[in-house]
């Protein structure tokens, strides 16, 4: 089969499209990496240009939902209100999900109604707000996943190209 490579079969190595493998693999890894870097950059811009405001928690509740496989998960939804230039705005955030309900209940206890939470507010559009760092985990996952994919596909692709070139030139590449 043309789209499978068996490193113990020289003919398979010769036929496999290593350049395409390398370009697609590194390209997909690069997309993930640069999306992650873009999210990190966006978060840094918000942290440095958006204003700090103390928001009042209006309500917090544990939400039960199902993942795609029918498992119950729990997260906390926190509604908050803040004031900018004499006007009040409302927004919310959610914690990450957990399969342990008691974890979500402990997280909810950190945000009782009437307590305050720090938020960042866009001074050009005060309706936009966020908790500092709330999306950072996603950015880090994208960046790390992209970097790992790029390195693995790059290494395997370059190895395959070298082995293919050596086989086509009639040499042995068993010690590479």
Q: pLDDT digits over 111-144, tens only?
A: 999 999 999 999 999 999 988 766 677 788 889 9
Q: What is the number of residues in the chain?
A: 176
Reply yes or no on whether the pLDDT at 149 is more than 50.
yes
Q: Answer whether 104's CB lies under 8 Å from 145's CB.
A: no
Longest Cα–Cα distance in the chain: 79
* Domain chopping of the chain, boundaries: 10-41+141-168, 51-121
Reply yes or no on whether the pLDDT at 175 is more than 60.
no
- Compute the distance between CA of residue 67 and CA of residue 101 in angstroms, rounded to an integer: 14
99 DSSP assignment: S
Question: Residues 165, 171, 173, 176: what is their CA dihedral angle, to the nearest 10 degrees?
Answer: -90
Can you list the positions of beta strands (E) in 4-163? 51-66, 72-84, 87-94, 116-121, 129-130
As a whole number, mean pLDDT of residues 2-27 equals 79
pLDDT band at 59 (very low <50, low <70, confident <90, very high): very high
| Whole-number pLDDT of residue 1 | 44
Reply yes or no on whether the pLDDT at 40 is more than 50.
yes
Tracing tokens 């955030």 back to the chain, one arrives at: 93
Q: Answer whether 13's CB lies under 8 Å from 164's CB.
A: yes
| Whole-number pLDDT of residue 3 | 60
Shortest CA distance to 66 belongs to which of 107, 99, 39? 99
As a whole number, mean pLDDT of residues 80-98 equals 91
As a whole number, mean pLDDT of residues 22-29 equals 90
131/172: higher pLDDT: 131
């Amino acid at each position: 089969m043309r789209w499978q490579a068996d490193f113990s079969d020289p003919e398979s190595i010769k036929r496999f499209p290593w350049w395409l493998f390398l370009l697609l693999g590194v390209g997909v890894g690069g997309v993930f990496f640069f999306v992650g870097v873009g999210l990190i950059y966006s978060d840094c811009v918000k942290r440095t240009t958006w204003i700090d405001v103390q928001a009042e928690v209006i309500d917090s509740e544990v939400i039960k939902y199902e993942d795609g496989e029918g498992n119950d998960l729990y997260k906390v939804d926190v509604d908050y209100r803040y004031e900018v230039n004499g006007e009040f705005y409302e927004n919310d955030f959610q914690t990450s999900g957990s399969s342990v309900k008691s974890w979500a209940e402990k997280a909810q206890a950190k945000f009782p109604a009437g307590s305050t939470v720090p938020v960042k507010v866009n001074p050009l559009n005060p309706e936009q707000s966020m908790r500092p760092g709330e999306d950072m985990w996603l950015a880090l996952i994208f960046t790390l996943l992209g970097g790992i994919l790029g390195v693995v596909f790059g290494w395997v692709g370059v190895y395959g190209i070298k082995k293919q070139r050596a086989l086509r030139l009639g040499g042995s590449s068993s010690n590479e």
